[in-house]
Amino acid sequence: MIKKILEHKFLVICLFVILISNFFGSLVQSSKGKVEVTSFILPTQNNQSLAVDFFKPVSATEENKAPFIVVIPGFQRSKEALSNIAIELSRRGFVVASIDPYAQGLSSSSMSKRSATTEGYGMFALVEHVYQEERYNFIDKNKIGATGHSAGGNAAIRGANYFGSKAIQSGSLSKLHSVYVSGYVLTMRDSVLKDVRSNVGMSYALYDEGAYRNELKNGDMRLAPEALRLVNSIFNKESKIKEVEIGHYYGDLENRTLRIVHNEAVLHPFQPYNKIATANQIEYFEKVFSHDSKLDTMNQIWQWKELFGLISLIIAFISIIPIARFLLSFSFFSSLIKPIPPALPKHSRNGKIIFWSLFFLGASIACFSYIPMSELSKELFVAASSREQTWFFPQRMNNAVMLWAFFNGIIGLLIFFGSYYFYGRHQGITPNFWGASISNSELLKTILLSLCVFISYYLVLFLSYYLFHIDYRFWFMGVRIFQPEMLLVLLIYIPFFFLFFFSNSLRVNGAMRIEGQPEWISMLIGGIGNSLGLILIIIIQYVSFAYTGTVFWTDGWLYINLLFAVVPMMFILPYFNRYFFRMTGRIYLGPMVTSLIFIMILITNTVCYLPLKQF
């Protein structure tokens, strides 16, 4: 076995790079061992549970208590997606807990359909837990804060309202000393702010795509009624301001009326990964907690973790190929290796016209079918779209992607077989060019091999996470560990996605392998063809935003933001389908492997309203 492994040196190199990258990533995450990073699951109300990453500086002790800050990711995000905030705060001496919001990551679903509003995505329960438990004697329980982005920002200000209301009723101080609200201003209303008894910092992206929902329909916070209400909530009628000075502190720290508004020039999804926005948040918490870390706010190291995460993410994807090649070297699977069918003859003039016409037709259909499919998903999957717990396609956002993939998979097959029937077969093309013939036993072996590749890929991830508490991630794009229930969710979604993946493999290998054409050009054309429609959506969305100040698709803007993570996978899919085709001479292994891995990545990075376990 060892000899066989050594014969596959590229696989060994990939595994080594993944582990060493995650090792260095863990050093950044733990500030070279100065911060202890652990995880736990907190049981909360109604049989719910909350997944928590806990960052405890070694400097925080019973004799040297530290402030405590809860980091709350937004919609479609997990605790790892905002690890940069946790890293920068914890290396400055704050105890930090980063949570998976309810119905996301490793946390359970919630009985509430408005979990961010009514439960702070789980933050309310965590603050109560830390406040009451004696074992957190290293935390200064008079200095508890919360910060969140997007819907997580809503959770933070709702927490200030919730704990403020309880403080008013009991005549005590709010358990939430200070909150920082990033990327969300819709709840900056008098009805919410009147009971806030915490310091509040606010950060809003100047170019936030969701700003069309704001009262002035833009992201400029100087005259925004939402920002003015936040600041004026601490003043009497005579002292109220008419324009917010960005970056200026208002109010008084001692009586917890401090207010500040930031307005960084960045897009909504990239705000948490902006150095200036991160520095503003660091500066805020150091000020409100009277904490001097001696580190400049622009002294940030989280970018190094992102770099190591990007390396491991890329190499992990590349490793799929040598993993499969290693498994094919075993005699049981070696029978799957067949001669590669001949490439299609060079296109004639008419052939080129037909090829490129169908190429752009497919891209156009992919572009203009996405939003209609997202709207249709709301009609077909009512429970998930209404945030109700269900086993019937429980992923609200991925339901739209699934319908789009299923529809475009059918379109792809129709285009392929239509062009063959009306043109290709008259030019001497036969199914022998496609690599589609396969026996029943070979099909079963191919399925088994794809499962082995999938298991091997995720075993490396789980091992790395166990050793280093790090997954494969760059910004909000990540490959993360999952709970067993997600395997059942995978079975629900994969039949519909597989049609798209199979259609792509058939087209990439049966219609885009042209005699005399360099492989890199052929695969590039395949990658562009598979992602061009979605790229056009993003272009339309942001060109409209640049010229009009409003995104083209307003109500569907969150579905468009989802494409930032989907497009890279769509682009590299044809590359994998081609490599697997070259390994086996058949079109089946590629879509089987990629659908398993890629769809697991999709379903573990989105909201999932699975029914709660009953104990």
pLDDT by residue (tens digit) across 160-186?
Answer: 999 999 999 988 999 999 999 999 999
Q: Which residue has the tokens 């009609």?
A: 379
Which of 250, 275, 300 delimits the end of a domain?
300
CB 500 within 8 A of CB 533: no
Residue 317: both structure tokens together: 């994807």
Q: For residue range 246-296, what is the model confidence (pLDDT) as tens digits?
A: 999 999 998 999 999 999 999 988 899 999 999 999 999 999 999 988 899
Same domain, 393 and 511: yes
Task: Give the least confident one: 403-412, 488-497, 544-553.
Answer: 544-553
Q: For residue range 389-415, what is the model confidence (pLDDT) as tens digits?
A: 888 889 888 899 999 999 999 999 999
Q: For residue range 512-547, what is the model confidence (pLDDT) as tens digits?
A: 888 888 989 999 999 999 999 899 999 999 999 888
Same domain, 347 and 291: no
Q: Is residue 580 part of a domain?
A: yes
Same domain, 281 and 352: no
Q: Are strands 477-479 and 472-474 parallel, antiparallel or unpaired?
A: antiparallel
Rounded to 5 degrees, φ, ψ at 479 are -110, 115
Q: Is residue 445 part of a domain?
A: no
Query: What CATH number should be reported for the domain holding residue 59?
Result: 3.40.50.1820
Same domain, 511 and 560: yes
Q: Is residue 25 part of a domain?
A: no
* 206-223 mean pLDDT: 91
Of residues 13, 146, 25, the one with CA closest to residue 465: 25
> Coil, helix or strand for 489?
helix
Buried b (16+ CB within 10 A) or exposed e, 500-515: bbbbbbbbbbbbbbbe
Range of the domain at 195: 32-300
Beta bridge partners, 349, equal none
Residue 195 confidence (pLDDT): 92
Q: Is residue 392 part of a domain?
A: yes
Q: Is residue 464 part of a domain?
A: no
Residues of the chain above pLDDT 90, percent: 64
Same domain, 159 and 213: yes
Same domain, 286 and 349: no
Q: How far apart are CA 45 and CA 234, in angstroms?
A: 33
Q: What is the DSSP string of 120-187?
A: GGGHHHHHHHHHH-TT-TTEEEEEEEEEEETHHHHHHHHHHHHHHHHHHHHTS--S--EEEEES--TT
491 contacts: CB under 8 Å, gap ≥ 6: none
Q: Is residue 12 part of a domain?
A: no
pLDDT tier, 615 (very low <50, low <70, confident <90, very high otherwise): very low
* 495-520 mean pLDDT: 91
Q: How far apart are CA 153 and CA 146, in angstroms?
A: 9
51 contacts: CB under 8 Å, gap ≥ 6: 39, 41, 79, 99, 100, 105, 106, 107
Cα-Cα-Cα-Cα dihedral sign, residues 408, 409, 412, 417: negative
Q: Which residue has the tokens 């899919």?
A: 573
Residue 7 confidence (pLDDT): 63
Rounded to 5 degrees, φ, ψ at 30 are -95, 10
Same domain, 423 and 278: no
Residue 375: both structure tokens together: 């709207």
Of residues 375, 376, 351, the one with CA closest to residue 514: 351
Same domain, 91 and 212: yes
Q: Cα dist. 397→401, 503, 596 in Å?
A: 7, 23, 18
Q: How far apart are CA 39 and CA 80, in angstroms?
A: 12
> Coil, helix or strand for 373?
helix
Q: Is residue 583 part of a domain?
A: yes
pLDDT tier, 78 (very low <50, low <70, confident <90, very high otherwise): confident
Residue 5 confidence (pLDDT): 60
Same domain, 490 and 376: yes
Q: Is residue 354 part of a domain?
A: yes
Q: Which residue has the tokens 């562009």?
A: 528
* 348-362 mean pLDDT: 87
Greater confidence (113 vs 1) lies with 113
Same domain, 276 and 387: no
Same domain, 295 and 380: no
State how many domains the chain has: 2
Same domain, 278 and 382: no
Mean pLDDT of the chain: 91
Residue 445 confidence (pLDDT): 95
Residue 1 has pLDDT above 60, yes or no: no
